């Protein structure tokens, strides 16, 4: 009888592991783009972008200003860059690089006119105020 319960425990343990293995590997993520932001600063143009949840750990990035690549080698240690030669009329594209091949590119982004972005709220009703915790 003792031997039977031991086999049953092992069987149930293996069944649980096998049954949950496929579910643990699946993760649901919302779709996000690179979210490139370009802001004029005293030192040039500050660029920032997202490292996505499905990016390989070895992913690097090339930056293009007005269609011309401005970094010598892919940027692999950060997701921001200061372009000392950029101006308010510059347009930027960030391209993801993996194994020396550009695999993805952002939409073309213009430089913000200010150091902040004004957002228009879509109010769900006339009594709604931003910051009212509803």
Between residues 104 and 129, the one the model is more confident about: 104
Superfamily of domain 37-110: Immunoglobulins (2.60.40.10)
pTM for the model:
0.72
Using CA atoms, how far residue 1 sits from 6, 89, 129, in Å, is 9, 81, 68
39 vs 62: CA distance, rounded Å:
18
- Lowest-confidence segment of 63-77, 80-94, 112-126 by average pLDDT: 112-126
- Lowest-confidence segment of 80-84, 105-109, 114-118, 127-131 by average pLDDT: 127-131
Is the pLDDT at 117 greater than 90? The verdict is no
Question: What are the residue boundaries of the structural domains of the chain, listed by start?
Answer: 37-110
Would you place residue 68 in the very low, low, confident or very high pLDDT band (cuts 50, 70, 90)? very high
69 vs 129: CA distance, rounded Å:
44
Between residues 129 and 118, the one the model is more confident about: 118
35 vs 68: CA distance, rounded Å:
20
For range 52-75, the mean pLDDT: 97
- Model confidence over 19-39: pLDDT tens digits? 665 555 667 888 999 999 999
How does DSSP assign 3-61, residue by residue? HHHHHHHHHHHHHHHHHHHHHHH-----------EEEEETTEEEEE----TTS-TT-EE
Would you place residue 98 in the very low, low, confident or very high pLDDT band (cuts 50, 70, 90)? very high
- 2's enclosing H/E stretch is helix 2-25
Quick check: 105 and 96 in contact, CB under 8 A? Answer: yes
Residue 72 has a pLDDT of 96
Q: What is the DSSP letter of 69?
A: E
């Amino acid at each position: 009888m003792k031997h039977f319960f031991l086999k049953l425990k092992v069987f149930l343990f293996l069944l649980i592991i096998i049954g949950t293995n496929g579910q643990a590997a699946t993760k649901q993520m919302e779709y996000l783009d690179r979210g490139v932001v370009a802001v004029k600063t005293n030192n040039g143009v500050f660029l920032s972008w997202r490292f996505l949840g499905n990016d390989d750990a070895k992913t690097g990035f090339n930056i293009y200003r007005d269609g011309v690549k401005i970094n010598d080698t892919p940027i692999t240690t950060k997701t921001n860059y200061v372009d000392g030669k950029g101006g308010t009329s510059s347009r930027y594209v960030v391209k993801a690089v993996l194994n020396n091949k550009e695999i993805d590119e952002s939409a073309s982004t213009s430089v913000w006119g200010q150091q902040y972005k004004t957002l228009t709220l879509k109010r769900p009703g006339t009594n709604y105020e931003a910051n009212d915790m509803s």
